[in-house]
Structure 1
Amino acid sequence: MEQKDKKYFRTHEDLAIYKLAFSAAMEIFEHSKNFPVEERYSLTDQIRRCSRSVCANMAEAWRKRRYKAAFVAKLSDCEAEAAEAQVWLKFAVKCQYIKVEKARELYGIYNQVLSGLVKMITHCDDWLLD
């Protein structure tokens, strides 16, 4: 792919999937404020950590674009954290800490994030620095 055909992104924050993941993490934070106190060091902590980790790993991946293996590894970490967030959302619904409709919306956002990550991994050469 020639340089002129590449869409220009200055930082990871310009990526649509980063914006989606960040927004979802903030929504999870807001909703998790209402989780019971006894969940503070389990479900609440875990769902907040993994949702934030998607964004943090995306930032790290962006900075590792000089090295294909490191870039792909960090994107794979993003994938794992996004999938983990989906699992914790299911627990939150089953424990009746979050409404089904809201959890479905957030779960769907993570499906979009996962789809974008898979595309980036599959076409990683398009993202690497020359």
Structure 2
Amino acid sequence: MKSYKDLDIYKLAFAYAIEVHRVSLKLPKFELYEQGSQVRRSSKSIKDNIVEGYGRRVYKQEFLKFLTYSHASLLECLSQLEMIDELYEIDEIKELRKKYDLLGGKIFSFIQYVEKNWKS
């Protein structure tokens, strides 16, 4: 691994953040700065915490802390998507929820891998 960009979880988190950004712009105008802003920030936080954790990877506990933050941001993003799905009819939301569910599992598995195999 030469870069955080080599991590599948980063690649997926980045791609999904782009999707969330674009889909959030389909919300009603009054929601662009409320629900839209919140879902955009939480989706971007997933990838950003992976990057920050990777930058601290020589310190196993720091790496784990930021991977945990990333997973927590993913749960927040899922909660936001669930709310949007209940309130508005935007076709792409259901698929995004499925993608984030899978990514959550991948991040969780990576956390377990780091806990067991990472050398500080």
Asked if TM exceeds 0.5, the reply is yes
- For the residue of structure 1 that corresponds to 2:34, the secondary structure is helix
- For the residue of structure 1 that corresponds to 2:84, the secondary structure is helix
| Distance in 2 between residues matched to 1:85 and 1:57, nearest whole Å | 14
Contact conserved, 2:24 with 2:32, CA < 8 A, in 1?
Answer: no
- For the residue of structure 1 that corresponds to 2:32, the secondary structure is helix
| Distance in 1 between residues matched to 2:28 and 2:110, nearest whole Å | 37
Shift of 1:62: 0.6
Larger Rg: 1
Q: Which residue of 1 aligns with 2:106?
A: 116
Identity of aligned residues (%): 29
The alignment status of 1:52 with 2:41, answered yes or no, reads no
| Distance in 2 between residues matched to 1:64 and 1:97, nearest whole Å | 41
| Distance in 2 between residues matched to 1:114 and 1:46, nearest whole Å | 18
AA aligned opposite 2:10: Y
AA aligned opposite 2:21: F
* Deviation larger for 110-119 or 78-87: 110-119
- For the residue of structure 2 that corresponds to 1:41, the secondary structure is coil
In the superposition, the TM-score normalised over structure 2's length comes to: 0.90
Q: Which residue of 2 aligns with 1:69?
A: 61
Shift of 1:108: 1.7
* Unaligned segments of structure 1, at least 5 residues: 1-8
In the superposition, the TM-score normalised over structure 1's length comes to: 0.84
RMSD (Å), alpha carbons: 1.5
- The count of corresponding residues between Structure 1 and Structure 2 is 119
- For the residue of structure 1 that corresponds to 2:68, the secondary structure is helix
Q: Deviations over 1:14-57 (max 9, x none)?
A: 11111111111111111111211211221000000000000000
